[in-house]
Amino acid sequence: MEQQQNNRGSFSNLGFILAAAGSSIGLGNLWKFPYLTGQNGGGVFVLVYLIIVATIGFTCMLGETAIGKYTKLNPLGAYRKLSKKFAFVGALGIIVPFLIVTYYNIIGGWVLKYIADFIMGKLGVMVGDPAGYFGAFVSSAFSPIFWTLVFVLINFIIIQAGVSEGIEKMSKILMPALFVLLIIVVIRSVTLPGAAAGLEFYLKPDFSKLTMATVSAALGQVFFSLSLGMGAMVAYGSYLPDATNIEKTSTIIPIMDSGAALLAGFAIFPACAAFSVDVGAGPSLIFQTLPTVFNSMPGGVIWAIVFFFLVLFAAITSATSLIECPVSWLIDSKGMKRRTATILVCIVAFLCAIPESLSLGELSGLTFPTFNGAMGIFDFVGYIAENVLMPAAGFFMCIVIGYVWGIDNFEKAVTNNGQFPFRTKAFVTIMIKYVAPIAIFIIWLQSIGIWGLIFK
């Protein structure tokens, strides 16, 4: 064990921030944040989201990283080391990323399909009826599954070839490029005629739209977007040298991540207003608005291809981080070879994606009852992963740190035995012991529908 710990490679500070940002900035920011904002009342959702990032998000990011840095183990081993009873929290870190990857691959496939269409000169056709174009595509049986497979294969090749390091190097260039291009799209979008109404929707909180459902959606999205609640940050933290100021990294990463999400919103909502796209359109939102924005730019096709390529890159860095969770468990605990484990995870994930994708068309009649109403397979898997299991993992992490491992030990890990100051100690202590677990629990009751039954 000791041996194994010492043999762990280690990250430089910048390397860690890039890897963690690569994992966290993905389709969650660019695709999901805008459509959730649209569905949940606009500005008020953004406000609740940012408050949760600064409180629960920051706390959980620091907590997970500290556990990883201290134990230098994979999530399952890490939680087992802190408390045998709570080893199951680490186990969630294998199951949940797997669940997420099954539908993440589908969205990755959509991005690929749009890139292919831009290249084939279909931008003009697309913008004629963006909603119809998207709807016809996702509800068809074959095409979305084909593109999902292509996305899976790309990820497989990257993980298999062990070029993750190369990807990290590329992310030094491509991540900033994504930000630059986002800003260009934002500038185009906010200068569209009629943009003001969209900005108002996005920025001006309408408190009459604030419900428990808004808060619950925001919490799930914070966990999803920051890659929290399933050990991804435990895994990254385990590669950190002891002398890393993780209070700082846990501040920088959520700021970058929220920055990307906020920019995506600035690109989308003015365009919704300008081209009368329904803000509540759901998963199709960015696929409807962005092509229309690009179409209104000189050289639009080129912008569209480059932008969607960068979205694809962000999606790949997140997807590979998700796949890595079950793969590294199969290697460490089941003694599998990396190649076998990767093939197995990719194949099973792809097979699961088939009914999920079909549930957006052919199989839409097949639904699962939940306290929150019946859901198709695609929505149901996302709901279980993001709204039920991830917050539960966050809740138990707070309990483990606050009451089992103990704040003193946690502080030692954060400050590296006093080397760094712990400026937010009082805040984080109260968050971890009381506020975060209680808040997460209440919001979780809402997510699974029990709240609604009690307070009818």
What is the binding site for ligand TRP (CB under 6 A)?
23-24, 26-29, 97, 100, 224-225, 227, 230, 232, 318, 321-322
- Residue (230 or 341) nearer to ligand TRP, CB: 230
Phi, then psi, of 437 in degrees rounded to 5: -60, -40
- Residue (71 or 320) nearer to ligand TRP, CB: 320
Nearest distance from C-beta of residue 260 to ligand TRP, angstroms: 9
Phi, then psi, of 376 in degrees rounded to 5: -70, 170
- Residue (264 or 443) nearer to ligand TRP, CB: 264
Nearest distance from C-beta of residue 32 to ligand TRP, angstroms: 7
- Residue (23 or 71) nearer to ligand TRP, CB: 23
- Residue (100 or 195) nearer to ligand TRP, CB: 100
Hunting for tokens 């229309």 — which residue is that? 292
Nearest distance from C-beta of residue 315 to ligand TRP, angstroms: 7
- Residue (274 or 436) nearer to ligand TRP, CB: 436
C-alpha angle 354-359-360 in degrees, rounded to nearest 5: 110
Give the 3-state DSSP-derived string for 85-142, with helices as H, strands as E and coil as C: HHHHHHHHHHHHHHHHHHHHHHHHHHHHHHHHHHHCCCHHHHHHCHHHHHHHHHHCCC
- Residue (98 or 114) nearer to ligand TRP, CB: 98
Residue, CB closest to ligand TRP: 28
Nearest distance from C-beta of residue 89 to ligand TRP, angstroms: 14
Nearest distance from C-beta of residue 264 to ligand TRP, angstroms: 11
- Residue (148 or 227) nearer to ligand TRP, CB: 227
Instruction: Of 48, 75, 51, give the one whose Cα is nearest residue 63.
Output: 75
- Residue (31 or 405) nearer to ligand TRP, CB: 31
CA pair distance 256, 248, nearest whole angstrom: 12
Nearest distance from C-beta of residue 203 to ligand TRP, angstroms: 22
- Residue (260 or 305) nearer to ligand TRP, CB: 260
Nearest distance from C-beta of residue 223 to ligand TRP, angstroms: 7
Nearest distance from C-beta of residue 180 to ligand TRP, angstroms: 20
Nearest distance from C-beta of residue 225 to ligand TRP, angstroms: 4
Nearest distance from C-beta of residue 6 to ligand TRP, angstroms: 27
- Residue (15 or 300) nearer to ligand TRP, CB: 15
Nearest distance from C-beta of residue 273 to ligand TRP, angstroms: 25
User: What length does the chain have?
Assistant: 456
Give the 3-state DSSP-derived string for the chain, with helices as H, strands as E and coil as C: CHHHHHHCCCCCHHHHHHHHHHHHCCHHHHHHHHHHHHHCCCHHHHHHHHHHHHHHHHHHHHHHHHHHHHHCCCHHHHHHHHCHHHHHHHHHHHHHHHHHHHHHHHHHHHHHHHHHHHHCCCHHHHHHCHHHHHHHHHHCCCHHHHHHHHHHHHHHHHHHCCCHHHHHHHHHHHHHHHHHHHHHHHHHHHCCCCHHHHHHHHHCCCHHHCCHHHHHHHHHHHHHHCCCCCCHHHHHHCCCCCCCCHHHHHHHHHHHHHHHHHHHHHHHHHHHHHCCCCCCCHHHHHHHHHHHHHHCCCCHHHHHHHHHHHHHHHHHHHHHHHHHHHHHHHHHHHCCCHHHHHHHHHHHHHHHHHHHHHCCCCCCCCEECCCCCCEEHHHHHHHHHHHHHHHHHHHHHHHHHHHHHHHHHHHHHHHCCCCCCCCCHHHHHHHHHHHHHHHHHHHHHHHHCHHHHHCC
